[in-house]
């Protein structure tokens, strides 16, 4: 299977081009079998991102695997949005070839995809508690723009448990998809430090990697810095964000591809 992947399209941030049209055109010119989008298509809720996903899916001939990013929940109540993502809502999308993974998994061909947003779960620092001592954390958009943000802690912990337990399944190929980075070492060297702001951008699931089959691929986003494939404990970690227009110039090749 050949997989194309991208994250952080941020179509609502004033691109001079129609990013979705460009993505559709590129996918249709490729020979990929599955398109993976690792979060942050747009901001403002589940319904708005669903419309973009439907537009993408109707324009291409391959299924889409998607996990929500933090921006999908901006200007919303996390609990309300989670209630929208009930089984019937996701099942309807599944029927149309859109596999929105919300701490869930799906088999496509001979590949098992498992994923979710991967919210910060306290594996590096518990930002939900330490924000009391580090007021700069409260200035981040996640805390300001997502009501009931503290509910994301449990959500992140549940995904980590799901990924670790998936190792017991007999599968030939496994791809993990999260929005947040699973290791602190993935933070770009230009930003890396052990400061409180970085605690909000990555987990540090080192023990989880010990339980994954050698040869697993892990796709993530959130960072807006593209990087080479990182190998860790036999797992290939792949990042291909588009980012914001003022950060990264538009590029012709939106997706990156690999085979499993």
Strands 235-239 and 230-232: antiparallel
Cα separation of 249 and 90, whole Å? 34
Domains belonging to the chain, first-starting first, are 2-259 (3.60.21.10)
Look at residue 131 in the predicted model and tell me its pLDDT: 64
d(CA 10, CA 165): 32
Average pLDDT, rounded, for the chain? 89
Output the pLDDT for position 160: 93
Kindly give the interhelix angle for 46-59 and 87-95, rounded to the nearest 10 degrees: 10
**Among the listed residues 72, 62, 50, the one whose alpha carbon sits nearest the alpha carbon of residue 24:** 62
Task: Give strand pairing partners of 98.
Answer: 64
pLDDT tens sequence across 69-111: 999 999 999 999 998 888 788 889 999 999 999 999 999 999 9
The answer to whether 173 and 150 have CB atoms below 8 angstroms apart is no
231 has a pLDDT exceeding 70: yes
Strand order in the sheet with 235-239: 104-108, 111-116, 173-178, 217-220, 235-239, 230-232
Beta partners for residue 99, in sequence order: 65
CA distance 13 to 246: 9
> pLDDT category, 119, cuts 50, 70, 90?
very high
Which residue bears the tokens 């809502």?
89
Nearest to 47 by CA among 87, 8, 93: 93
pLDDT reading at 194 higher than 70: no
Tell me the C-alpha distance between 153 and 79, whole Å. Answer: 12
Q: How far apart are CA 132 and CA 45, in angstroms?
A: 28
Dihedral (Cα; 216, 69, 17, 238), 10-degree rounding? -20
Q: Which of 164, 165, 177, 169 is nearest to 205 (CA)?
A: 164
Please give the pLDDT value at position 137.
Answer: 76
Strands (E), 26-68: 34-37, 64-66
How many residues in the chain? 260
- Torsions phi, psi of 111, nearest 5? -120, 130
Residue 184's nearest CA partner among 167, 207, 164, 201 is 201
Least confident of 62-71, 181-190, 218-227: 181-190
């Amino acid at each position: 299977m050949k997989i194309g992947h991208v994250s952080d399209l941020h179509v609502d941030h004033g691109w001079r081009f129609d990013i979705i049209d460009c993505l559709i055109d590129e996918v249709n010119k490729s020979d990929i079998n599955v398109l993976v989008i690792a979060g942050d298509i747009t901001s403002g809720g589940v319904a708005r991102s669903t419309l973009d996903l439907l537009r993408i899916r109707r324009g291409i001939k391959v299924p889409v695997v998607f996990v929500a990013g933090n921006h999908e929940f901006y200007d919303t109540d996390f609990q309300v949005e989670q209630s929208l993502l009930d089984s019937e809502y996701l099942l309807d999308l599944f029927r149309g070839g859109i596999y929105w993974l919300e701490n869930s998994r799906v088999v496509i061909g001979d590949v098992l995809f498992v994923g979710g947003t991967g919210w910060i779960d306290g594996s590096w620092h518990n930002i939900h508690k330490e924000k009391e001592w580090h007021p700069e954390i409260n200035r981040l958009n996640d805390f300001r723009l997502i009501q009931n943000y503290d509910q994301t802690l449990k959500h992140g912990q549940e995904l980590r448990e799901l990924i670790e337990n998936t190792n017991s399944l007999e599968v030939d190929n496994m791809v993990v998809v999260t929005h947040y980075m699973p290791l602190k070492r993935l933070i770009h060297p230009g930003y890396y430090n052990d400061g409180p702001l970085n605690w909000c951008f990555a987990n540090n699931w080192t023990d989880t990697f010990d339980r994954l089959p050698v040869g697993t691929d892990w796709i993530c986003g959130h960072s807006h810095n593209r990087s080479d494939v990182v190998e860790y404990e036999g797992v290939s970690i792949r990042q291909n964000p588009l980012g914001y227009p003022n950060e990264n110039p538009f590029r012709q090749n939106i997706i990156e591809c690999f085979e499993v």
